[in-house]
Chain A
């Protein structure tokens, strides 16, 4: 018998708080983090299911995460964690058929996003800027990702700081260091713009999304780029600029 909550948002909060009590920093990312930060994620046009809970944690205390989550009733994927534990940890809640993904030190999927650097910015999730980037870095974006991005952009203007604004300088700084990430983010912005009409949102909401997409695109375009960015840009699309994550089969 475990104390795992049926409600996934309650359960996510329980884990974050249990971690905090033991000195372990865990912050939500992924769809559930969007849901907790953006009321629009529950709008009928943007609502979606949340089968997994994703966390980020700093590398230095990641070894305590397995003890924490096992104690909270989760079953670790031992072989996966053994081989990949320096960057990822996987846990299962068999009763609710849920999976917990823990990104250790950084978020690495199609691109690397340094999510663990500012985990103290918010008590529950990674900062909005990084949260948006984890969605925009996806090369093979699915519908859930587009909905999440729309929800974030609808509820949060760009600004110079975190909390309830999306820290625009942070996004442009990260992208100005990494041409591959910049490229994928730029393409993702086009993709979201293409799909915003597919959702049954009010005209004003769509306009807000378009304006913010445009604001981000302009900022990315004009931000000063690093030498590394420029050198990689010179090679361009001739060399693949992203990774494609592989599915993890549970057996």
Chain B
């Protein structure tokens, strides 16, 4: 290609191609190529609303609803697009490591910002540690051990609390290692997992597409018996056990209200396209609103479509009815609502069920291994985003300086990781052994993991709504100032929509008027008043407030620093 052709095909390069056209740039001296591309941020967002881990896990617990799953997936996805607008806007205005903490502390004030961000991005991730580990054992250890013929080991991992706790330890070791590799290597790891995991999912979908229900029944009988020692007649027995447990959730249909009532569960899966928000100080072009928005929105749209297609294929071959009954049989036993062990005596992992359509163990093993990449590419999200919030709080001197230090040789944020890992393992032990702390079994607080983060998001959403009015100069100088709807800033409009959604979720979780969620103080006489959940959350907020007040007083007395002044400045990049 000649220089002239080059110039025509790529105008940006025209400067270099002919004397007549050449110009020089006013480039400043220092530049930085940030660690992550927009595509890396997309993969992070895509994995953060992870269909195979979060999605299949939480949907398996939703067997007792009257609203249709697929309309709930679509409607919630549309509403959560407003969250993408809110976060893409906040990132474009202040692309800083620490995300929610920086925005809230600078817009709402230091105390509110610290308490909400620290609880939502740090403390509550302790509870997510055993939840991540539960998914690891269900999609990795159990099916793979089953496929290779280690039936007893598979069942040990499936049911034994000590095995569960060991998986928790393995999870934090893996997560710490992958974070210690640094952002560039992390991006490479998640990219590898993204392609392999999706290839695995494609194979699973092809099996579902070309398989038949009769073939599945036969495969289930053969494989469930061989891998896990299930008794003959497992298909019919599972349907019966599920019906006894009260499995009713349809794939379609239901009133709008009943569809909305699925969302406090479903958001455990799809509320997180913004999960990379705290990392955007390290993403290329983070002040580009459109790129930020599409990075998150595409992850949400693609995942939602993928979920719809996947469950339609499940319905075609496995049948939604069977899967929903299997879910009900499994969870009603695990939660202690039933004393009858499920006929299919492991978690009904849909990808594994799809691979029951073959009896080729090598194929089953390879596909299950590929599917486990959905976990390994995603696992780092449990702590990675949180480390940036801890760093940002430490730079503001709200935490000891050590919290923002790294091991000079390995470049591992040892203290920040320690602050995640050690309490995470304590909570993991409580969760794995399902300790009945303060009156309720510990595993009953699973959804609190979503509630606390939703409160944090509400704080950032309120920040976004008032940003154009309280930080007018900052907003006017930002790339989002031009986006308005009927003269009202787009970020404020989207903020109001998303805030309304979050308030609905919080009302349902906390007051639980239909006795569905079991993590709040239900106003329904049949509902649960979950003291364990309430106390756990109050302790976290109390701890965060205590740290804030304590550090503020300490800095004033010992260092003569008024932390209130720090919040008047936007942190440096």
Contact = CB atoms under 8 A, between A and B. Distances in A.
B572 A195 contact: no
B1 A236 contact: yes
Interface in B1-36: 1, 3, 6, 9-10, 12-13, 15-19, 22, 24-35
Given A63-B408, A143-B24, A246 B571 contact: no
A86 interface: yes
Contacts of A101: 30
A85 B32 contact: no
A236 B9 CA distance: 10
Given A83-B281, A141-B25, A246-B34, A187 B13 contact: yes
Interface string A122-138: 00000000000000001
Interface string B382-419: 00000010010001000000001110110101000000
Contacts of B406: 82, 85
Interface in A76-130: 77-80, 82-88, 90, 99, 101, 108-109
Contact of B32 (A88, A140, A141): A88
Contacts of B404: 78-79, 82
B411 A85 contact: yes
Nearest to A247: B28
A248 interface: yes
B436 to A, nearest CB: 42
Contact of A195 (B10, B24, B27, B35): B24
Contact of A86 (B22, B31, B182): B182
Contacts of A160: none
B395 A79 contact: yes
Given A82-B404, A245-B31, A246-B34, A142 B24 contact: yes
Contact of A247 (B12, B31, B281, B571): B31
Contact of B19 (A90, A143, A187, A194): A194
Contact of A187 (B9, B17, B34, B281): B17
A109 B17 contact: no
Given A79-B573, A146-B24, A191 B30 contact: no
Interface of B is mostly: loop
Q: How large is the interface on A (under 10, 10 to 19, 20 to 34, 35 or more residues)?
A: 35 or more
A78 B395 contact: yes
B285 interface: yes
A79 B572 contact: yes
Contacts of A51: 29
Contacts of A138: 27
Contacts of A247: 28, 30-32
A194 B18 contact: yes
B151 interface: no
Nearest to A236: B1
A246 B34 CA distance: 8
A251 B570 contact: yes
B391 A142 contact: no
A142 B26 contact: yes
B559 interface: no
B16 A79 contact: no
A190 interface: yes
Contacts of A248: 30-32, 573
B431 to A, nearest CB: 32
A243 interface: yes
A195 B15 CA distance: 11
A245 B26 CA distance: 13
Interface in A189-233: 190-191, 194-195
Nearest to A64: B408
B569 A84 contact: no
Interface in A138-161: 138-143, 146
Contacts of B27: 138, 140-142
Given A52-B30, A86-B184, A243-B33, 8 more contacts: A64-B408, A79-B404, A80-B572, A87-B35, A99-B30, A142-B24, A244-B31, A246-B34
27 contacts: A63-B408, A64-B408, A77-B572, A79-B573, A82-B391, A82-B406, A86-B182, A86-B183, A86-B184, A86-B411, A99-B30, A140-B27, A141-B24, A142-B24, A142-B26, A190-B17, A191-B15, A195-B24, A237-B1, A245-B33, A246-B284, A247-B28, A247-B31, A248-B573, A249-B573, A251-B569, A251-B573
Interface of B: 1, 3, 6, 9-10, 12-13, 15-19, 22, 24-35, 97, 182-184, 281-282, 284-285, 388, 391, 395, 404-406, 408-409, 411, 413, 569-573
